[in-house]
A and B are shown apart, each in its own frame.
Chain A
Amino acid sequence: MLPAYYEFFNPVKILSGDKSLENIPFELERAGCRLPMVITDSGVAQAGLLDMVTGAFKSSGMHIGAVYDNVPPDSSDRAVTEIAAIFRDQGCDSLVAVGGGSVIDTAKGINILISEGSEDLMQFTGAERLESPLKPFFVIPTTSGTGSEATAAAVIFNETRQIKMTFTSCRLMPNAAVLDPRMTVSVPPRITAATGMDALSHAVEAYTCLQKNPLSDAYATAGIGLISENLLRAVTKGRDKRIRLAMANASTMAGIAFSNSMVGMVHSLGHATGGVAHVPHGEAMSIFLPAVLRYNMDRIEEELSELLYCVGGEAEVVQTSVEGRAERTVELIERLQEDLHEACGLPRTLGEAGVERDQLESIAKTAIDDASLTFNPEEMTSKDALGVLEQVYE
């Protein structure tokens, strides 16, 4: 059924596949850029991926204005201010982010400061607070999970106030996302698994939460299909570029989907668990996804039944009774979770992820203040959250 009203926005050009990195100088030039700044983290630089990106500029005639290769693992306002100053000093005119969610969100923060001509990120927190058009911004993801290359949001840690600042604005969307399989073939199995489950949670929540719409559904279902088919293979056969490219596409599709239909309780609990117990986001998503789908079951049974085709294929749909399809979808996600645990040790419970039992109450209290909860189909109080946390503890 169509929603009474919906909006969908995705201006991000997708460059996907073989030698797509080499097209970046052309795209920059088309956007009127002459001196891009490249931003990444030390892990990406050490893995040789930064050299691969700068190598793609050879014979293009374009100069690189500056390279910053030390973005911290959690994007922070201090790093954003520092890098924005370099951008200004070097007279750069565009940004190229090479990395995972942290690097991409840091680049979004830098773009806010530069384009708004400000030194204080805090004044732009919240939704739609950006007044000026941002600088041309290109993203090269090095993990397949966050979907940040296609979303209108950024989360940056405020070191002074010790809070996570959330920014949402259509202006934060990159000009283009470059999905080159060379950038993800060297991702270790456990990170591949965690980021893949992050992408799966984006797509599943996009399909089952309140802001879903026909266009986000199309991206979500396509993403879920690709993840179900390729995630385990990406963990066990990481050097296969076709599998990596499929996961990169799935992650971007999931990003487009959730940027237009938002996520729900899996993310509320995941953000809180990350904040309180420092569990990596993808691992938290993997732990919470099946439990939250069961929690929401009464409200989303129809949607979960529809997802059985994407998760299990035609044979599963034919073999499962109509009444059992929603439950079967959750069971297959749990089976994937188990397979990933066996393949690379991805934690299945909060206990395995190193969370202490006395942290659960604090996680529950934090989770109810997470904005993602707005779009969850079922209500969640801190008592409800604690119930789910206990359930997935061991």
Chain B
Amino acid sequence: MAIITISRGSYSKGKEVAEMVASKLGYDCISREVLIKASDHFNIPEVKLIRAIHDAPSILERFDRKRQAFVAFIRSELACRVSTDNVVYHGLAGHLLLKGIPHVLKVRIIAQLEDRIITAESQRAGISKEKARTLLLNDDQERRKWTQSLYGVDPWDSSLYDLVIHIHKLQVNDAVELICDAATRDQFKTTDKYKRKMDDFAIACQVKAALVDQFSEVGVTSHFGNALIFAKSGDRVGQKLKKRVKELNNEIKGINNLEIHFGLPLPPDAV
């Protein structure tokens, strides 16, 4: 009864670890399907979603609301998916997309660059050592820039995770055992309180995803199904937002009450 996110660099054996953890605990292992579902649900080509969540935004793109919208779509899909519990997610930025959920076990798998180059060479036919090195360094750089521009943190900051495992002396099996052991600890158990929190988070993410296209600056919170939308005051936008929000009650399950709070400061837990 837990939610595990595994963050990893390319060819760090994180995928292997995730699959084995899921298999050992009998959990679902998800990654790309979140993007596929988001792509279907919001009718956005998958490649655009991948770019939004993988590539660091250029200076111009930082002001582009589309990217924010795509991230909101992915987060909404991920939140809905993991709210069913017993899930290992090893896609991109899981630990950041699910920020604020207390019982998520956040794991980071790292490996030495040389080991990763070897793995890359063995898994991708015809790739030279140098090319693999460049590819991995570029990839790491992109990830770093992405998280810094969207969340203002460095993915290599170990305080973002509950567990950072270096696959070198510790092998994949050791990592799996450590993670499985941690996942069964009390603090990661899905209690009623945490389940409610996860459901609320999923509601807030869905509401945000439904609005982000037209109203990129709104923030959403939910508490026991009472969703609050925080928006800046403004008569014209306000009227449009109210109209759109009225439709949401029927679109999103689990909402008990939906209110717009105009001109109030955004609470820290708003998505």
Q: Do A and B bind each other?
A: no
